[in-house]
Chains A and B, each alone.
Chain A
Amino acid sequence: MLHQTSPLAVAIFAAFVTGVLWLSFRLGRKGQSAQGYYAAHGQVHWAVNGVAFAGDYLSAASFLGICGLIAFYGYDGFLYSIGFLAGWIVALFVIAEPIKALGRFTFADALDARFDSRGIKLSVAISTLVVSIFYLIPQMVGAGALVTPLLGLPHWAGVILVGVAVTVIVVTAGMVSTTWVQFIKGSLLVFFCGLLTLLILQRGLVVNAGRSGPPDLTPQTRTVLPDGQVLVDGEPQSSEHDLRPVGTLARLPERYGDRTETGPLGPLAYLAALEDSTVVTWTKETSADPAGTQVTFTPRERPAAELLRPGGYFKGLAGGTLTARLDFASLMLALFCGTASLPHILIRYYTVKDAAAARKSTVVGIATIGVFYVLTLYLGLGAMTSGFLDPTNTNMAAPLLAKSFSETLFAVISAIAFTTVLGTVSGLIMAGSGAVAHDLAENVCGIRMTDHEKVRVGKLAAVGLGLVAMALGILFKGFNVGFLVGWAFNIAASANLPALVMLLFWPRTTKQGITAAVTIGMTASLAWILLSADTFEKVYGLPRDLAPMPFSQPGLVTIPLGFIVLVAVSLLTPPPVPARH
């Protein structure tokens, strides 16, 4: 669908970016020492840090991706919300306090706390960069994908806009400005999603989104010709002749009689009423021949109850094959184990003063993120029945839901969608900057630096990573962003979690064991992903059957592999010298 540029959205986004950059320059003097640049002097209040955790973690995949999945496929999108939040339990109860006590600037500091090993520093720095880059790509691609419909700019312009803004934020005051950007983003995101949810409940359920007559069930076609021209139902696409918006309610439950609106509903009553309603979704069929690629969207009525249980997106759950179920189990394991292994999340523990503050800030983070993930259910279901969905773009579900209420709310939510990218990308660039300057340059290569030089190298690394992020964002245009986030979680969980957990709970862990576990966990998960059926189909354009791996998500195999490798190598190498105490 063609989306009209919203001048108000442009104005709000410009105001937000200007405000954030002004704040960054104001805070610049606080990021001039290494302790300030990399860890905000360890003086961030735990409550601010907790909300900043939310700003760091709730990426475009969480906001736009999950809302879109629920709006298009129903309950299965909510399974991502459950998995993403569950990972924070690992962070709180297992990781938070030790990581704060052991580290200083980076994740490698913590893993290397006992050993002072160049092998650990090198392998963990590489794993930090790999995970951060895999997480950066979907954020940058998401920025480019949003900018076209919302601001009327080309994909590359969105990528460069976000890349430059984030690089400036990080370079001016490092972790100090990054923390405040993430705090503001986290607060705005939860507040406006809460407001949108209240509006959904206030509106209740409305048949055919308030339009007269029954829902239009006529199929629609979108054809892309070899020369790039787009046809809708056989005619050139234009703002006057475009796809109809989809996703609406066909009938209310019988108990509402002839009424076409329920009126305001409570949170549970809304879910119960929807469960008994009939919705209009659509099927999507693609056919390709030399004359062009045609997609047919066919509306169909179905009981909403079918969409409020598992199996809409993860097709293998209802009577599927064993490998499809293993694939799902593997993804859920990776989400559970991956959160506490993401370097850009872990470095946020160094910005508070002590272990107690780390614990308390994690609790604030869990509460903020938990509230947000509950809201995603209502946002997704509200979008599903709003009558405003674009059948060609899942990422637009949340902004278009806002548009069903008002243009102003659409502008605000669109601007917030961009800020989700700013907050997460700044955290990722900080993590990568520390890995390059602190781990690789200083600790692995042994380059002696003054405090001022450490900051300068960190800023140069941030600029370099910003350029890499922009290049990858442009290069991977059109790539499935949710797919890449899954990669990042799998690699992080496979490479980092076994080493971190065993270091904390198994005294026999050796430096060789940690180095081997990180290296093999990372390479095995990466190799598995590159040889999986999903990658064969979506990246290489090859038949799924040619892929050698039995299922696509590696975590179920590669996370245990990391533990096994660590134990085996540790037992085969001399035990560590007991710490003096």
Chain B
Amino acid sequence: MSQQSRDDLPRTITSASRLSLGLFAVYVLLYAGFMTLVLVRPDLLGSRPLGGVNLAIACGLGLILTAVLLAVVSVVVRSDR
């Protein structure tokens, strides 16, 4: 461990930006919400409100695509700053 990076540690810790943590919190809520639904009301996930695709698949695909979207948003926003 170089002396430089050891000295940089406090700045590194606090530099975990609000944006990153905010996006992280959004995803945690979505993931936890979906898993709660799977655990508590799996029957609801068989309903088909979205043009023939059931809620289980829509939520699963949605979570994967949301992860990609949030990742891209974080890079674009931070690049602008």
Contacts and interface: CB of A to CB of B under 8 A. Distances in A.
Interface in B33-69: 34-35, 38-39, 42-43, 45-46, 48, 51-54, 56-57, 60-61, 63-65, 67-68
Contact of A370 (B11, B31, B39, B67): B67
A448 to B, nearest CB: 16
A310 B64 contact: no
A473 B75 CA distance: 41
- Tell me if B's interface is mostly helix, strand, loop or mixed: helix
A370 B11 CA distance: 32
B16 A504 contact: yes
A366 B2 CA distance: 30
A579 B57 contact: no
A528 interface: no
Contacts of A504: 12-13, 16
Contacts of A37: none
A23 interface: no
Interface string A311-339: 10000011000000100110010001000
A504 B61 CA distance: 32
Given A97-B15, A363-B75, A370-B67, A309 B54 contact: yes
B39 A329 contact: yes
- Tell me if A's interface is mostly helix, strand, loop or mixed: helix
A332 B35 contact: yes
B35 to A, nearest CB: 5
B51 A268 contact: yes
Interface string B7-36: 111111101100011011001100100110
A363 B54 CA distance: 29
Nearest to B76: A363
Contact of A328 (B6, B7, B39, B78): B39
A24 to B, nearest CB: 30
Interface stretch (A5-13, A76-84, A547-555): A76-84
A147 B70 CA distance: 40
A98 interface: yes
A79 B35 CA distance: 9
Nearest to A324: B39
B24 A89 contact: yes
A79 B57 CA distance: 10
B56 A309 contact: yes
Contacts, number: 158
Contacts of A362: 71
A74 B31 CA distance: 20
A336 B75 CA distance: 21
B27 A309 contact: no
A537 interface: no
Interface in A60-114: 75, 78-79, 81-82, 85-86, 88-90, 92-94, 97-98, 101-104, 109, 112-114
Given A377-B60, A581-B7, A97 B16 contact: yes
Interface in A344-397: 359-360, 362-363, 366-367, 370-371, 373-374, 377
B9 A579 contact: yes
Contacts of B70: 89
Nearest to A381: B57
A272 interface: yes
Contacts of A79: 38, 60
A530 interface: no
Among B8, B52, B74, chain A packs the most CB atoms within 10 A around the CB of B52
B44 to A, nearest CB: 9
Contacts of B64: 81-82, 85, 370, 373-374
A93 B21 contact: yes
Contacts of B57: 75, 78, 271, 308, 377
Contacts of A310: 38, 42, 45, 56
Nearest to B13: A504
Contact of B9 (A75, A113, A332): A113
Contacts of A92: 20, 71, 74
A442 interface: no
B16 A113 contact: no
A86 B31 contact: yes
A276 B43 CA distance: 17
Given A310-B38, A329-B39, A579-B9, A377 B46 contact: no
A93 B20 contact: yes
B68 A367 contact: yes
5 contacts: A75-B57, A93-B23, A271-B57, A359-B78, A370-B67
Interface of B: 1-2, 5-13, 15-16, 20-21, 23-24, 27-28, 31, 34-35, 38-39, 42-43, 45-46, 48, 51-54, 56-57, 60-61, 63-65, 67-68, 70-72, 74-75, 78
Interface of A: 75, 78-79, 81-82, 85-86, 88-90, 92-94, 97-98, 101-104, 109, 112-114, 116, 268-269, 271-273, 275-276, 305, 308-311, 317-318, 325, 328-329, 332, 336, 359-360, 362-363, 366-367, 370-371, 373-374, 377, 504-505, 507, 578-581
